[in-house]
């Protein structure tokens, strides 16, 4: 049975994002720690944040992701910052289904990426953002980053 995922769900994908484009041959490949393209063997320089497995917030504009613009906003537990491109998410701002992930985090808006249906096949639902003020802040910062940059 397929699970329905919603805007503001906190998910744990196996890969984040799904793939990158090689800087030399322009072919797409799944991220790996070595960052070597399987098509042309060239080295690609990608920051650790991208291939590090971490939870993310699903931001979906409509009820069905496939009719919609959908983004994954990575969450970091290593720093707690609120500024123009980051939003601290406290434990009290969320409802956690998996207590192993119940910790304060930072939503990193400047590293949001488009997600598609493949991400939903390879992830684990760990919670939801429930604080309306935090949701509004994240959404406003996402829009500012997307459309005003």
Question: Residue 144 is part of which domain span?
Answer: 9-16+53-148
Main-chain dihedrals φ then ψ at residue 46, nearest 5 degrees = -130, 135
Do 103 and 139 lie in one domain? The reply is yes
* H-state helical runs in the chain: 48-51, 117-121, 132-148
In a domain, 1, yes or no: no
Give the Å distances, CA to CA, from 36 to 14, 16, 26, 135.
19, 17, 13, 37
pLDDT number for residue 18? 54
Any domain includes 4: no
Query: Would 3 be classed as within a structural domain?
Result: no
Tally of domains in the chain: 2
Same domain, 61 and 86: yes
Per-residue confidence at 1, pLDDT binned at 50, 70, 90? very low
Q: What is the pLDDT of residue 67?
A: 62
Residue 112, helix vs strand vs coil: coil
Let me know whether 118 and 131 are in one domain.
yes
15 vs 116: CA distance, rounded Å? 12
Report residue 5 CA to chain centroid gap. 14
pLDDT for 131 beyond 60:
yes
pTM, whole model, 2 decimals?
0.73
On the CB side of 125, CA atoms within 13 Å amount to 15
- Mean pLDDT in residue range 95-112: 90
Number of alpha carbons in the 13 Å side-chain half-sphere of residue 93? 22
Does 47 or 105 have the greater pLDDT score?
Answer: 105
- Of 5-9, 47-51, 52-56, 65-69, least confident by mean pLDDT is 47-51
125/90 same-domain check: yes
Residue 25 belongs to a domain: yes
Residues 76 and 104 grouped into a single domain = yes
- The answer to whether residues 94 and 129 touch, using CB atoms and an 8 Å cutoff, is yes
36 plus 89 within the same structural domain: no
Q: Which two tokens stand for residue 100?
A: 């192993």
Shared-domain flag, residues 105 and 63: yes
Pair 43, 59 in one domain: no
Question: Do 47 and 89 reside in the same domain of the chain?
Answer: no
Same domain assignment for residues 105 and 137: yes
What pLDDT does residue 39 have? 85
Give CA–CA dist 62/68, Å, rounded.
6
**Which is more confidently placed, 124 or 50?**
124
């Amino acid at each position: 049975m397929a699970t329905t995922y919603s805007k503001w769900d906190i998910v744990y994908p196996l890969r984040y994002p799904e793939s990158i484009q090689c800087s030399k041959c322009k072919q797409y490949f799944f991220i790996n720690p070595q960052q070597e393209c399987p098509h042309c063997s060239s080295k690609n320089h990608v920051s650790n944040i991208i291939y590090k497995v971490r939870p993310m917030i699903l931001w979906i504009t409509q009820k069905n992701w496939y009719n919609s613009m959908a983004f994954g906003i990575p969450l970091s537990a290593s720093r707690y910052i609120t500024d123009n491109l980051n939003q601290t998410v406290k434990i009290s701002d969320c409802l956690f289904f998996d207590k192993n992930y119940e910790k304060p985090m930072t939503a990193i808006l400047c590293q949001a990426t488009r997600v598609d249906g493949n991400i939903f096949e390879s992830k684990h639902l760990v919670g939801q953002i429930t604080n309306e003020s935090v949701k509004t802040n994240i959404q406003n910062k996402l829009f500012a980053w997307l459309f005003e940059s």
